[in-house]
Amino acid sequence: MRDVNRRRALVTGGAGFLGSHLCERLLAEGHDVLCVDNYYTGTRENLKSMLGSPRFEILRHDVTFPLYVEVDEIYNLACPASPVHYQFDPVQTTKTSVHGAINMLGLAKRVRARILQASTSEVYGDPDVHPQPESYWGRVNPIGIRACYDEGKRCAETLFFDYYRQHRLPIKVARIFNTYGPRMHPGDGRVVSNFIVKALQGEPLEVYGEGSQTRSFCYVDDMVSALMLFMAGDDGFPGPLNLGNPGEFTILELAEQVIERSGSRSKIVFAPLPADDPRQRQPDIALAREKLGWQPTTPLAEGLDRTIEYFDGLLGRDARA
């Protein structure tokens, strides 16, 4: 007989950065975990620590195709998250967000599972309200190079709320702000991993534009805690809910911190700013504090140290200049 406290969780995008940490925590809490991934940006390497667990299953599958399994809750994380990767095949990115959401919502509806969507701060686009509260509708260029991701995620939010209203599906929409930590792919292309890899290799850190644009960086363990708390909360609160660390830094400040904390002799160089790059981003997390009693506890310096240590091990100490 199944233990009523033991849930069967499906994590789509489970072989990715965030997904693999989430699978690990769900297993540690005693749940059964089904990881579904097409390995577009994720790797089997990320799942290594879990392979021995009899409660862990992996399925190679693309969420743009229907999926028939029996689960109690679904974390829908499948989607490339780094601009470099989501812009590589933008049509597939939109399909992943939109068809993926339809299939996972259809699955949730059939088995009456709770379903959480990994949405994003990108739904706010290049925001003219700062910091961004959930009530802000955003400022997204619908035809720009980030639109495949931003509009795909916005459409997924629409689908989630329509299944909530039309089918009374228990949904949770989390708007995740920039999250970093060990197990980001060294070729991921996002700023924290790019800077750390370059610093450890003694190569120049490329700051796009003047580096005056800001981001707020959340350590992965804090984010995973928030996602699980949100999923466990009551059905009456679907979100959307901002999750992130409100500490706000310019990209230039981040580059300087990475160089300092890794003890690198790398220089900073400047490169052109990509189109539609948001100028500022900081989550207003008042709602998460109120609804989940949650706030991040890992300061940037500490999270960077842990991430630098991870990449140092991964790249080999010889790579250090």
CB–CB of 185/46 below 8 Å? no
Q: Which residue's CB is nearer to ligand NAD, number 101 or number 259? A: 101
Which residue is catalytic, options 86, 149, 163, 180?
149
The distance between the two most distant Cα atoms of the chain, rounded to a whole number of Å, is: 61
The torsion of the CA quartet 65, 71, 77, 80, rounded to 10 degrees, works out to: -30
* Under rule CB under 6 A, residue 93 binds ligand UDP: no
CA angle (176, 180, 182) in 5-degree steps = 135
Instruction: Tell whether residue 118 is a contact of ligand UDP (CB under 6 A).
Output: no
The string of DSSP codes covering 245-256 is ---EEEHHHHHH
Active site residue 149: yes
Cβ neighbours of 24 (radius 10 Å): 20
CA 171 – CA 138 distance, rounded (Å): 21
Contact 202, 265 (CB under 8 A): yes
| Among candidate residues 172, 257, 168, the one with its CA nearest the CA of residue 211 | 257
Q: Smallest distance from the beta carbon of 103 to ligand NAD, in angstroms? A: 10
Q: Smaller CB distance to ligand NAD: residue 251 or 264?
A: 251
Residue whose C-alpha is closest to residue 17's, from 164, 253, 218, 279: 218
Please, what is the minimum distance in Å from the beta carbon of residue 56 to ligand NAD? 15
Position 109 contacts ligand UDP (CB under 6 A): yes
The rounded distance, in Å, linking the Cα atoms of 97 and 153 is 6
Cα 10 to chain centroid, rounded: 16
- The smaller minimum CB distance to ligand UDP, of residues 27 and 127, is found at 127
Binding site partner of 298, from ligand NAD, ligand UDP, none, Cβ cut-off 5-8 A by kind: none
Residues that bind ligand NAD (CB under 6 A): 12-13, 15-19, 37-42, 62-64, 77-81, 96, 100, 118, 120, 176, 178-179
102 binds ligand UDP (CB under 6 A): yes
208 makes contact with ligand UDP (CB under 6 A): yes
Nearer to ligand UDP, 28 or 321 (CB): 321
The verdict on 218 binding ligand UDP (CB under 6 A) reads no
Asked if residue 68 binds ligand UDP (CB under 6 A), the reply is yes
Among 48, 110, 165, 267, contact with ligand UDP (rule: CB under 6 A):
110
Interacting residue ranges for ligand UDP, rule: CB under 6 A: 66-68, 82-83, 102-103, 106-107, 109-110, 178, 190-191, 194, 206-208, 213, 215, 251, 274, 277
Question: What amino acid positions are annotated as catalytic residues?
Answer: 149
